[in-house]
Amino acid sequence: MIALIQRVSEANVTVDGEILGAIGKGLVVLLGVEKGDTDADAAKLAHKVRGYRVFEDDNGKMNVNVSQHGGELLVISQFTLAADTKRECGRASRGHRLMKQNVCTRYFVRIASVQG
């Protein structure tokens, strides 16, 4: 399981003009789920993401996590994070490392719903 996080003042996901998800201040989490990832991996990653101190405290130091900051998470599927870049596979994406979508959905919900 691989996550790339970005601190945002606001963000949304729009498909065909319809907003599917939106947050105010918080973190966008691009999440790649691979075969072999487990519920325990999702729980561990969720706590790590929520615990990263990437927001400023009253003294201007990066010392506050997203929950302490009152922020939200927007978790977005990004299967390319699990891309196999070590093999000579041209530029076509390879799906052999990717988890099935129905399993991924469970992990996305878990990561988005973990509190502080």
**Active site (annotated) includes residue 85:** no
Residue 54: exposure state from Cβ atoms within 10 A (0-12, 13-18, ≥19): middle
Catalytic residue from among 14, 80, 85, 105: 80
Quick one: tokens of 21? 């998800």
Quick one: tokens of 48? 């790590």
SS3 call for 27: strand
Residues designated as active site: 80
